């Protein structure tokens, strides 16, 4: 499937002859600064290619079509069970018994009871249908695909064209909705960070410079999922995720049993569209994105975080809440001479925010993690970690010398991904639990190795 397909209108095959469906992409939230929503290192002179974004000559679409088939893990339910799939893309089937009209809205009803699942067609979409809704669909058995939403507590799918609905003689088998099952968290909570290397789909986002980034191939997705299973983090920060929609498809297809019921993702500043996000088994509270925060660099130029600083409140059941700060600092893709001033500005602002948080609450519990694109002895990391005054705590000295690699591509093997924490959070750290899972791209699905640490819940 061509990477040039429009991001905003994606065609999907239902597996039934002649039926193509157009469904809208998930909206990406934009937030203002501070907005809250409910929902042992190597030499610091890392070569540019060691921490660069991926090569521009990697083409996007795979030769064998999309890595995740359009209908894979998409539920198919009877109309009476539509509430089971609210908020998800699904196939719903049944017989239309009546067609109703109310001013600008038209209804395809599966029952005489108006307070049950229905299909909704707005008047301005009628011209897309070749005949009246009555002639087309009344007393017909249909299969419809779209996102099931609620209106005044009643489930519905909005139809924009006949592409979304097909008259059928024989229905395909029902497919039970996949839900992230609840996975209990023990007395210790594992926090991880993982740059997953271009978790991109096959579709062109016209608002991002993603055309030259290939979609992640199926084998890499499978290996990536296996790596995530192996670290078994309760809370996982991720970098290089293109969209919430594709992340959720990845979870539904490959990791439906891992318990990641809470997905936090905001569109960041990266022009290629790589974002930071969080998966959590524990409930999530307040979320703050610092995408729009502006700050000066050493030369007085206005800067902002190259991707984002995402602050997510984690609320473990019967445990103590903490804040998870996720970063992905500027890489050396344009050369270290250009990148370092930007990264240092990000580091200084990050340090400023951390010191403000501790000044407001010396007992604040923060875990700071992500891809810092620099090594522990670099000026970037020294700025962030600080000195004897209000330092961030690290546990790198626990690692044996052969377990310190997070960027796994030779010849630039280096440690640039970290988990740090505030002094109060450090009192909850479980000694000897800091881990870097050593691997290579061909086995793990990423050119970074995940980092984990455990804390008392």
What mean pLDDT, rounded, does the chain reach?
87
pLDDT above 80 (res 36)? no
Give the model confidence (pLDDT) of 329-358 as tens digits.
999 888 888 999 999 999 999 999 999 999
Tell me phi and psi for residue 345, to 5 degrees: -65, -45
Q: What per-residue confidence (pLDDT) applies to 34? A: 38
CA distance 60 to 47: 26
Q: What per-residue confidence (pLDDT) applies to 2? A: 41
Strands (E), 246-402: 262-265, 275-280, 284-289, 295-296, 302-303, 309-314, 322-328, 366-371
Q: Which CATH superfamily is domain 36-67+180-456 in?
A: Endonuclease/exonuclease/phosphatase (3.60.10.10)
Helices (H), 78-209: 133-137
Closest listed residue to residue 306, CA positions, set 341, 330, 332: 330
CA distance 312 to 324: 5
H/E element, 342: helix 336-360
Q: Is residue 285 very low, low, confident or very high in pLDDT (cuts 50, 70, 90)?
A: very high
Give the model confidence (pLDDT) of 44-59 as tens digits.
333 333 333 444 334 4
Which residue is associated with the tokens 């990697």?
58
- Looking at residue 359, what DSSP letter applies? H
Closest listed residue to residue 451, CA positions, set 213, 297, 233: 233
Contact assessment for residue 279 and residue 262, using Cβ atoms and an 8 Å cutoff: yes
Q: Same CATH fold, 76-167 and 36-67+180-456? A: no
Helix axes 244-254, 218-231, angle to 10 degrees: 80
CA-atom Rg of the chain in angstroms? 24
Enumerate the domain spans of the chain.
36-67+180-456, 76-167
pLDDT above 80 (res 43)? no
Give the model confidence (pLDDT) of 253-274 as tens digits.
999 999 999 999 999 999 999 9
Strands 284-289 and 309-314, by their bridges, are: antiparallel
Contact assessment for residue 197 and residue 441, using Cβ atoms and an 8 Å cutoff: yes
Tell me phi and psi for residue 113, to 5 degrees: -75, 120
CA distance 49 to 43: 15
Q: Is residue 63 very low, low, confident or very high in pLDDT (cuts 50, 70, 90)?
A: low
Alpha-carbon distances of 5 from 38, 89, 136, 146, 205, rounded to whole Å: 33, 19, 30, 18, 8
Give the model confidence (pLDDT) of 171-229 as tens digits.
889 988 877 677 889 999 999 999 999 999 998 888 888 888 999 999 999 999 999 99
Instruction: Determine if the peptide bond prior to 311 is cis (ω within 30°).
Output: no
Q: Is residue 32 very low, low, confident or very high in pLDDT (cuts 50, 70, 90)?
A: very low
CA distance 29 to 310: 13
Closest listed residue to residue 259, CA positions, set 151, 155, 183: 183
Closest listed residue to residue 435, CA positions, set 90, 114, 190: 190
Given CATH 3.30.450.30, say whether it is the number of domain 76-167: no
CA distance 243 to 317: 28
Query: What size, in residues, is the chain?
Result: 457
């Amino acid at each position: 499937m061509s990477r040039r397909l429009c991001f905003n209108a994606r065609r999907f095959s239902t597996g039934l002859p002649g039926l193509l469906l157009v469904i809208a992409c998930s909206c990406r939230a934009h937030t203002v600064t501070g907005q809250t929503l409910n929902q042992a290192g190597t030499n610091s002179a890392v070569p540019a290619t060691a921490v660069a974004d991926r090569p521009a000559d990697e083409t996007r679409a795979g030769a064998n079509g999309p890595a995740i088939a359009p209908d894979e893990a998409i539920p198919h339910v009877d109309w009476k069970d539509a509430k089971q799939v609210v908020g998800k893309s699904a196939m719903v089937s049944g017989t239309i018994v009546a067609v109703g009209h109310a001013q600008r809205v038209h209804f395809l009803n599966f029952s005489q009871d108006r307070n049950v699942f229905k299909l909704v067609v707005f008047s301005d979409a009628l011209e897309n249908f070749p005949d009246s809704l009555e002639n087309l669909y009344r007393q017909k058995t249909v299969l419809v695909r779209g996102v099931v939403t609620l209106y005044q507590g009643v489930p519905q799918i909005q139809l924009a064209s006949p592409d979304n609905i097909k008259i059928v003689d024989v229905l395909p088998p029902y497919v039970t909705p996949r839900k992230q099952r609840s996975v209990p968290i023990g007395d210790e909570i594992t926090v991880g960070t993982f740059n997953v290397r271009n978790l991109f789909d096959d579709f062109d986002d016209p608002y991002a410079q993603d055309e030259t980034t290939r979609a992640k191939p199926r084998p890499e997705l499978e290996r990536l999922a296996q790596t995530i299973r192996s670290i078994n983090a309760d809370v996982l920060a991720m970098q290089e995720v293109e969209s919430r929609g594709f992340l959720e498809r990845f979870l539904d297809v490959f990791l439906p049993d891992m318990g990641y019921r809470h997905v936090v993702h905001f569109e960041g500043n990266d022009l290629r569209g790589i974002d930071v996000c969080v998966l959590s088994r524990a409930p999530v509270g307040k979320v703050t994105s610092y995408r729009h925060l502006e700050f000066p660099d050493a030369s007085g130029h206005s800067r902002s975080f190259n991707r984002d600083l995402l602050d997510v409140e984690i609320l473990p059941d019967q445990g103590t809440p903490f804040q998870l700060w996720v970063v992905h600092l500027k890489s050396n893709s344009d050369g270290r001479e250009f990148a370092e001033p930007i990264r240092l500005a990000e580091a200084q602002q990050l340090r400023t925010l951390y010191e403000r948080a501790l000044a407001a609450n010396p007992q604040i519990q923060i875990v700071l993690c992500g891809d810092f694109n620099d090594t522990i002895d670099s000026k970037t990391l020294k700025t962030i970690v600080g000195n004897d005054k209000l330092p961030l705590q690290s546990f790198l000295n626990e690692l044996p010398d052969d377990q310190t690699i997070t960027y796994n591509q030779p010849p630039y093997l280096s440690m640039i991904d970290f988990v740090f924490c505030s002094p109060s959070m450090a009192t909850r750290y479980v000694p000897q639990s800091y881990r870097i899972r050593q691997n290579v791209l061909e086995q793990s699905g990423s050119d970074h190795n995940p980092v984990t640490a455990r804390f008392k819940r």
